[in-house]
């Protein structure tokens, strides 16, 4: 179904206010995210163990106000309180002498990290819920402590695999993203790119991008770019031009079996790009919208469960994605280190 024991992008940090709660279904599981007044994010299963009310409908009380000296969510139904580790700290209806050990009542807690303004959540298999993360979520190289300059998010009506494969598919550009300023049918030409294994995935090694892409042209200077993919569905594109750098992060997160959220964020050092934000936002929405419309259209065919094809070389990255996933599943099930199945190779295609 979904990869487990791995970090998924949950939401932008700015979506979670200090002292606030936010609910979100991820991988078919309801989660409540909160942020303490100290700024620490946390995540719990969004179901009260008493009678099943979503905890996200309650309140986050913080040190002092909750009376228990630590941040806790209060369920709106009977006021049970759960701390940020998911341990029950109070049942208001108890009278003296009714000595239930409330600390034995627990809500599932999910490990959370906030890196470069991105909130990541570690989704383990229920059976391994108490295991500590084996790795860290991705950071944005060269942007220590900085948040994204721009973000757009969109929901695709498809399983995560089709969203990820659509994202790494090099052959759809001139068809799905055809436009006078980006790609035209006449701009199709042969490409050869070098690929190598990289952390939890693979990378198109640093190169000078082809001249038919508008985004690279507006950067000025001779840019180089490196694109990497890592499980479960994270694409990092780093562009260097002179002393400037732009990093694009695309995170694909399954909401459930049939819907997937794509969040695209850009980090940059060019003040000029900040001025152009409204225009960039329109381009980003247009782009994501074209991809969304295509995978949504694809669902019409997939309803009939056809056999699908993966061809050389333009679908090799999709093949790697399946292999990487299988290896991740096997490695986590066997409790052994992940062994990257990708080998260095040059791939050629026309796009």
Residues at the contact surface with ligand FES, assessed by CB under 6 A: 48, 50-51, 53, 75, 77-78, 80
Does 152 contact Fe ion by CB under 5 A?
no
* CB nearer to ligand FES: pick between 56 and 116: 56
* CB nearer to ligand FES: pick between 77 and 349: 77
* CB nearer to ligand FES: pick between 80 and 229: 80
Min separation Cβ 70 and ligand FES, Å: 18
Min separation Cβ 264 and Fe ion, Å: 11
* CB nearer to ligand FES: pick between 75 and 164: 75
Length of the chain: 351
Only one of the segments 80-88, 286-294, 307-315, 329-337 lies at the binding site for Fe ion (rule: CB under 5 A); that segment is 286-294
Q: In the structure encoding, which two tokens stand for residue 96, read together?
A: 């003296």
Only one of the segments 148-156, 220-228, 272-280, 285-293 lies at the binding site for Fe ion (rule: CB under 5 A); that segment is 285-293
Quote the CA–CA distance of 278 and 271 in Å, as a whole number: 14
The partner in contact with residue 135, picked from Fe ion, ligand FES, none with C-beta cut-offs of 5 to 8 angstroms by kind, is none
Quote the CA–CA distance of 247 and 225 in Å, as a whole number: 9
* CB nearer to ligand FES: pick between 51 and 222: 51
Quote the CA–CA distance of 41 and 88 in Å, as a whole number: 18
Chain centroid offset of residue 115 CA? 12
- All residues at 6 or more sequence positions from 95 whose CB lies less than 8 Å from its CB, including other chains: none
The partner in contact with residue 74, picked from ligand FES, Fe ion, none with C-beta cut-offs of 5 to 8 angstroms by kind, is none
Does 237 contact Fe ion by CB under 5 A?
no
Min separation Cβ 100 and ligand FES, Å: 13
- All residues at 6 or more sequence positions from 86 whose CB lies less than 8 Å from its CB, including other chains: 44, 45, 106, 107, 108, 109
Q: DSSP letter at 106?
A: B
Min separation Cβ 89 and ligand FES, Å: 12
Min separation Cβ 13 and ligand FES, Å: 28
Only one of the segments 5-13, 30-38, 283-291, 313-321 lies at the binding site for Fe ion (rule: CB under 5 A); that segment is 283-291
- CB 34 within 8 Å of CB 16: yes
Scanning the structure block, which residue is given the tokens 């409540």?
Answer: 32
DSSP string across 234-280: EEEEEEEETTEEEEEEEEEEEEETTEEEEEEEEEES-HHHHHTHHHH
Q: Which residue is nearest to Fe ion (CB)?
A: 291
Min separation Cβ 34 and ligand FES, Å: 16
Only one of the segments 17-25, 30-38, 142-150, 290-298 lies at the binding site for Fe ion (rule: CB under 5 A); that segment is 290-298
Quote the CA–CA distance of 92 and 78 in Å, as a whole number: 7
**Sheet of 150-156, strands arranged across:** 150-156, 259-268, 244-256, 234-241, 224-230, 201-207, 190-198, 345-350
The partner in contact with residue 189, picked from ligand FES, Fe ion, none with C-beta cut-offs of 5 to 8 angstroms by kind, is none
* CB nearer to ligand FES: pick between 83 and 264: 83
Using the CB atoms, write b or e for 144-182: b if 16+ within 10 Å. Answer: eeebbbbbbbbebebbbbbbbbbbbbbebbbebeeeeeb
* CB nearer to Fe ion: pick between 291 and 315: 291
Does 291 contact Fe ion by CB under 5 A?
yes
The partner in contact with residue 291, picked from Fe ion, ligand FES, none with C-beta cut-offs of 5 to 8 angstroms by kind, is Fe ion
* CB nearer to Fe ion: pick between 136 and 293: 293
Quote the CA–CA distance of 13 and 41 in Å, as a whole number: 9
Binding residues for Fe ion (CB under 5 A): 291
């Amino acid at each position: 179904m979904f990869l487990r024991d791995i970090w998924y992008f949950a939401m932008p940090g700015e979506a979670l206010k200090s002292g606030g709660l936010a609910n979100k279904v991820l991988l078919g599981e309801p989660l409540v995210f909160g942020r303490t007044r100290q700024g620490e994010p946390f995540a719990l299963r969004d179901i009260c163990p008493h009678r099943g009310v979503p905890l996200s409908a309650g309140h986050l009380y913080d040190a002092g106000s909750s009376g228990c000296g630590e941040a806790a969510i209060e369920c709106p139904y009977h006021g049970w309180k759960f701390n940020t580790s998911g341990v029950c700290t109070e049942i208001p209806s108890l009278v003296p002498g009714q000595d239930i050990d409330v600390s034995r009542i627990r809500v599932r807690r999910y490990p959370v990290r906030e890196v470069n303004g991105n909130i990541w959540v570690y989704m383990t298999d229920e059976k391994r819920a108490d295991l500590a993360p084996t790795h860290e979520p991705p950071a944005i190289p060269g942007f220590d402590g900085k948040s994204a300059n721009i973000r757009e998010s969109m929901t695709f009506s498809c399983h995560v695999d089709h969203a990820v494969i659509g994202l790494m598919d090099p052959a759809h550009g001139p068809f799905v993203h055809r436009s006078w300023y980006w790609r035209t049918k006449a701009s199709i030409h042969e490409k050869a790119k070098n690929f190598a294994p990289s952390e939890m995935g693979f990378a198109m090694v640093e190169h000078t991008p082809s001249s038919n892409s508008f985004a690279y042209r507006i950067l000025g200077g001779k840019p180089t770019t490196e694109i990497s993919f890592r499980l479960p569905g994270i694409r990092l594109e780093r562009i260097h031009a002179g002393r400037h750098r732009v990093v694009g992060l695309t995170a694909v997160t399954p909401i459930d079996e049939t819907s997937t959220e794509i969040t695209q964020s850009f980090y940059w050092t060019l003040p000029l790009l900040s001025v152009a934000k409204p225009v960039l936002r329109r381009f980003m929405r247009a782009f994501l919208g074209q991809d969304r419309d295509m995978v949504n259209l694809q669902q019409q065919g997939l309803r009939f469960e056809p056999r699908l094809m993966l061809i050389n070389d333009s679908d090799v990255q999709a093949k790697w994605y399946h292999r990487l996933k299988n290896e991740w599943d096997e490695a986590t099930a066997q409790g052994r280190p992940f062994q990257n199945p990708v080998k260095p190779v040059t791939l050629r295609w026309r796009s």
